[in-house]
Each structure stands twice: as structure tokens, then as C-alpha cells.
A and B are shown apart, each in its own frame.
Chain A
Amino acid sequence: KNQVEQSPQSLIILEGKNCTLQCNYTVSPFSNLRWYKQDTGRGPVSLTIMTFSENTKSNGRYTATLDADTKQSSLHITASQLSDSASYICVVSAGGGYNKLIFGAGTRLAVHP
């Protein structure tokens, strides 16, 4: 069964600190992996998308890594800001006829002053 698992479930950090969120997946066939940010009461917004051949991709203070051999990804947030408080969802696109996405349950990040 295609699955995406994320850890930790929730995380509290102080403003200015760095953090790393983890994602493990068992999705086959694999097409790409995305990280989304979801603010409370809003829809998910794309941060990064990586294909099989990409190891890392950055978007400002967000850096995602992908190890396709071990089927693991991480999202590193540098110099956190209060506005980073949100859920971060790892999403894997399964190969096939169209863009079928498998979502993780997300990591809820709270950045405190």
C-alpha cells in the first residue's frame, strides 16, 4: 500500500532556530516528492517539488532533500520566523496516468517568540 509517514507529529521551536522535518515513503512507482505548507484554515501551498534525480532543492529559508534509494526526504527550515508556524505536509506523486498524490499527515510546527 502506498504510504507517506512524517515525523515528528508536532514540534515547538524558538524564533530564529533551525529545524528539520522528516518524511519516509513507500510509494511505487515514484514520480516526484513535494513539500507543502498549510496554514490553519487555508489550503496547502507548494514549497518544493523534486523528481527522482534531484537530491536537494531550496526555496528561500526552506531546503528539501531527497534520498530516493532509502525513500526518505527532509525539510530543513533555517532561521525560523513566527510566520513559519503551520503544518508541513510531505506529498509523493505516484506514477501513472495522471498526478495522483499521496499525502502524509503533516508535522505541526509552532514557532514561539
Chain B
Amino acid sequence: GAGVSQSPRYKVAKRGQDVALRCDPISGHVSLFWYQQALGQGPEFLTYFQNEAQLDKSGLPSDRFFAERPEGSVSTLKIQRTQQEDSAVYLCASSFEGSHNSPLHFGNGTRLTVT
């Protein structure tokens, strides 16, 4: 596809369940970012990949959050033992390179609701 694709669009999980969120970046994009966006707030950085290497995971809120990009394209964000405070929209973004002026292309996000 032409843009960043995320699936599922919506996910409802019971507290304690594990979830996996998928991101298909634009083909050929080296850099991939995950963000968490709470209702009415701007996105907050979670983690950054350059190809398959996870270069920064300082934004992951706890060790229940894990992200991978094993072949340098598709990425998965996994949340174990979900809690209510994990409810948010999870946005994935990619760019052709990681330099500061690179345009960043966002997916439409996965809205996670933990009940």
C-alpha cells in the first residue's frame, strides 16, 4: 500500500490479556517509530527502530511493553498483562531515513481499550 498500515484498528482486551499490534511501514522506510496517544493529548514516544535494530526504547512505560522489527520492515508492539492505563491509541510512523528533516508518515493507529 501507499501508506503506513496498522492493524487491528480497534482492540478490546480484558485486563490481564496480552495484545499484539501490527505496523506495516511504507516499503523501503528505514526508520520506524511507535507512539502512544492518550485521549486529548499529543502522541508520546515509545520506541524507535532503524531497520531491525531497536535504537531507543526509553519511552516504553514498563517491562510489559515489548516491540520488535525482526526483518526491518513489519513491526509488532506487544503488551503483556494489559492494564486499564494502557488504554490509548497506538500510532506507528515511518520515514525513509532517520535524519531530523525526514518527513514522518503516520498510520491511523490502533485504539486499544482495556476493560
Interface set of A (CB-CB < 8 Å, partner B): 4, 31-32, 41-46, 49, 51, 89, 91, 93, 95, 97-101, 103-106, 108
The answer to whether A106 touches B100 (Cβ under 8 A) is no
Residue pair A95, B100 in contact (C-beta under 8 Å): yes
* Extra pairs beyond A32-B100, A98-B98 (20, CB < 8 Å): A31-B100, A41-B108, A43-B4, A43-B93, A43-B107, A43-B108, A44-B91, A89-B43, A91-B42, A97-B55, A97-B98, A98-B31, A99-B95, A99-B100, A100-B45, A103-B35, A103-B42, A104-B42, A106-B41, A108-B40
Q: Which residues of A contact B25 (CB under 8 A)?
A: none
Min C-beta distance of B4 to chain A, whole Å: 7
Assess the B44–A103 pair: CB atoms within 8 A.
yes
Chain B residues contacting A108 (CB-CB under 8 Å) are 40
Indicate with 1 or 0, residue by residue over B78-103, a CB within 8 angstroms of chain A CB atoms: 00000000000001010100111111
- In the complex, are the beta carbons of B41 and A98 less than 8 A apart? no
Least distance between A33 CB and chain B CB atoms (Å): 11
Q: A42-B108, A43-B91 are in contact. Are A99 and B43 (CB under 8 A)?
A: no
Report yes or no: B43 in contact with A103, Cβ–Cβ below 8 A.
Answer: yes
- Per the bound structure, the CA–CA distance linking A41 and B41 in Å amounts to 13
- Once the chains are docked, how many angstroms separate the CA of A98 from the CA of B55? 9
Which of A31, A43, A89, A97 has the largest count of B CB atoms less than 10 A from its CB?
A43
Contacts of A91 in B (CB 8 A): 42
- Find out whether the CB atom of B108 lies under 8 angstroms from the CB atom of A49: no
B37-59 vs A, Cβ < 8 Å mask (1 yes, 0 no):
00011111100101000011000
